[in-house]
Structure 1
């Protein structure tokens, strides 16, 4: 048995067993990696190298963007912007059939992008729009399905911590290019879901009874402008090269603090302390995860696991289409039980070289793997956005799955566009000079 196969089996078996036992993902990654390399290196050298890999993995300037964006997102989550974005989305969707469902979708894209969290979007939008949909006669399961299906769009539409993480693990792919690359796939995801909602709403006669005058609409837009400016200032500055992603994340914190403390006045200093603590906890989890995954990346490189997997896949078929379909199916399966961040950290070093051998750019692969794993957040058995959306809507999982099937179909169709049409993810970055 080759070293690569032996080490790969140890990692896979130990990792699965520890995850099933409820061991934290970062700890599972570190232990499984160390056990996989012990037959090759002595214990002292293994522990010393693993420690060095943790510190080298987290000693990267770009990584500072993650805690800042987490903090900015948490401030905005508590800062009362959800209702303003919902009202703004109502202005955009007008009175088309199923306008509240479309409002939910647009608001999820906006709020998810600002907060950087699909779970936060599903929770906030579901709790606010859900009761209104119920009053207007919308089916509870349909309303919950729309909310769940569109909540992950904010993980693709920047700023996105997942794309920052991918930038690090892929060897320095431009964060600005990844941010630009996420726009079209994220918007296509949302638009495809809105198309499904439109036909369902038209069939069942869902119409909005609310009509805003021009003056009321302008007031709503004006109230939402400060929140929307966050996206324009931060993302625009990063793309234009005015500041880096890390500097942009710090600006996002400062802006969101000013917005929530002095303009909207929706949080106070006491609540800010709790926000800082929650952000620190979340940051600690992610940073430790990045460090532990760096051990696994070293072990896989040292033992030749990526090359072995590449040879195995190419042994199945030489066709790029077949290989890419296999990779997508595998990632879809992985996404159903593993969170996005660890999955990106684990599988990027394995699959990126294979896709690059077919001529796929690191940028396109980054959007593809992120999009793919986002689907797992709304898929049983572990999809966290799915279960949050179901809980907020106070419906049963089995009732939501049936209307979700149509959304899965169109979301998967867009995944195929992202996979096989490079321009979907590379056109905008190319237009911006990346």
Structure 2
């Protein structure tokens, strides 16, 4: 009965348009009232959920990503990608994917990538004769690559939610190859759709211009190398690396590129505070909701249900992927990580799935939800930036969905793609 109250209350609040954080909080409170548990416990669980040291990295990585966007690093990465891929048919689509992958390596945010690439490339694509829906579709799906290529603050949330101390360094390394694979599959689809639509070929700007663009982009790309190098060498932790990323980005933007002034700095700080507040509120509310699930033994019941159906690892992973894909269509990524990780991680570990591997599966799976209606936040951001109705973009996004789903299946059933790189550094 109480489990029904929890689930139904959540679904009703979401259907009424109540923000996800408040829907989770309202469902938890209704369940605690039904269980005759003091409501103060809800807020105690919220406080406990955000009082995790590793979560301190989230505001710093968000701040660093916003500073990189406002410092013009995105524009320099676009210039590099344009030199590398721009001469192919539909070259700006390939440029979009390549630049998104590189920007993901320094920002780790899908929304930041969609905003940066959208504002930089969408007007140019439209001027070159590309359809608006194509520009939006490439931009939003390519933004998902940033969730896999380190650093990714969602991996930090997963590590904290796992409860077993999954190594953030291993997660960062594990996302590199899957991120590259996903980017390549999206490039193939972007090229194929461009051929079918008859988009024109681009022109190679010349080696001198390309190498000059690469030279100017190197300081920005070095942020990812410094972060990963420091973590792997043991010089600093993942949390400390996030603060170092902020300091490094400020130096690069203000001293090297000279494009980061006081106004842009304060704008980035204000925006980062807003995003961090939303993320932490969602995490706190999801923690209270997850505590209610734990009291009702929902994780154990679901685990028993799945394992009683089958103990075949392939079937278990298929079932888990379907569950995550469905949930991702109507709930945002951060709360889903907090809620589903304690439930599903023990299930997949029972059939021999490595927690690092499962973390990468979850990143891409829930990332697909970010570009899927009705709660596809990255899809809505891309559509708004590109001034293209969501309905129009969704009608032609299916080839790109296919690429993401194919990448998900390959990453799910070829675990060495995720685990080989972490194993090399142990």
User: Residue by residue, what CA displacement relative to the aligned partner does 1:379-427 show, whole Å, maximum 9, x if unpaired?
Assistant: 1222122222223333343443343211111211111112222112111
1:298 is matched with 291
Aligned pairs for 1:177-196 (under 5 A) are 177-196=170-189
Q: 1:15 aligns with which of 10, 24, 28?
A: 10
Q: Which runs of 5+ in 2 are unaligned?
A: none
TM-aligned CA distance change 1:192 to 1:12, over 3 Å: same
Q: 1:336 Cα deviation (Å)?
A: 1.2
Q: 1:231 Cα deviation (Å)?
A: 1.0
Q: Over the residues paired in the alignment, what is the CA RMSD in angstroms?
A: 2.0
Q: Which runs of 5+ in 1 are unaligned?
A: 1-5
Confirm whether residue 73 of structure 1 aligns to residue 65 of structure 2. Answer: yes
**Conserved? CA contact 1:180–1:428, under 8 Å:** yes
1:51 is matched with 43
* Moved segments of 4+, more than 6 Å: none
* Residues 70-79 or 54-63, more deviating: 54-63
In the aligned structure 1, how far is the partner of 2:311 from the partner of 2:292?
27
SS at 2:319 equivalent: helix
In the aligned structure 2, how far is the partner of 1:411 from the partner of 1:209?
26
**Conserved? CA contact 1:149–1:378, under 8 Å:** yes
1:27 is matched with 22
1:232 is matched with 225
User: Residue by residue, what CA displacement relative to the aligned partner does 1:264-321 show, whole Å, maximum 9, x if unpaired?
Assistant: 2223223322322221222122223222322233322232111111122234334332
**Conserved? CA contact 2:90–2:202, under 8 Å:** no
Q: 1:242 aligns with which of 206, 228, 235?
A: 235
Q: 1:156 aligns with which of 136, 144, 148?
A: 148
SS at 2:39 equivalent: helix
SS at 2:396 equivalent: helix
**Conserved? CA contact 1:136–1:208, under 8 Å:** no
TM-aligned CA distance change 1:49 to 1:126, over 3 Å: closer
* Residues 423-432 or 164-173, more deviating: 423-432
1:3 is matched with none
User: Residue by residue, what CA displacement relative to the aligned partner does 1:329-372 show, whole Å, maximum 9, x if unpaired?
Assistant: 12111111211001111111111111111111111111111110
In the aligned structure 1, how far is the partner of 2:372 from the partner of 2:326?
10
Q: 1:247 Cα deviation (Å)?
A: 0.6
SS at 1:96 equivalent: coil
Q: 2:388 aligns with which of 390, 395, 398?
A: 395
TM-aligned CA distance change 1:24 to 1:403, over 3 Å: closer
**Conserved? CA contact 2:321–2:365, under 8 Å:** yes
TM-score normalised over the length of structure 2: 0.94
Count residues in correspondence: 425
In the aligned structure 1, how far is the partner of 2:278 from the partner of 2:123?
34
**Conserved? CA contact 1:104–1:129, under 8 Å:** yes
TM-aligned CA distance change 1:229 to 1:312, over 3 Å: same
Q: 1:51 Cα deviation (Å)?
A: 3.5
Q: 1:419 aligns with which of 408, 412, 419?
A: 412
TM-aligned CA distance change 1:398 to 1:56, over 3 Å: closer
* Residues 164-173 or 318-327, more deviating: 318-327
TM-aligned CA distance change 1:380 to 1:56, over 3 Å: closer
In the aligned structure 2, how far is the partner of 1:393 from the partner of 1:56?
40
Q: 1:122 aligns with which of 114, 128, 141?
A: 114
TM-score normalised over the length of structure 1: 0.92
In the aligned structure 1, how far is the partner of 2:126 from the partner of 2:290?
49
Q: 1:108 Cα deviation (Å)?
A: 0.9
Confirm whether residue 103 of structure 1 aligns to residue 103 of structure 2. Answer: no
User: Residue by residue, what CA displacement relative to the aligned partner does 1:115-167 show, whole Å, maximum 9, x if unpaired?
Assistant: 22222222222232223323333333323322222111111111111110000
In the aligned structure 2, how far is the partner of 1:91 from the partner of 1:232?
22
Q: 1:203 Cα deviation (Å)?
A: 4.3
TM-aligned CA distance change 1:394 to 1:301, over 3 Å: closer
**Conserved? CA contact 1:7–1:303, under 8 Å:** yes
* Residues 223-232 or 195-204, more deviating: 195-204
2:272 is matched with 279
2:78 is matched with 86
Q: 1:48 Cα deviation (Å)?
A: 4.2
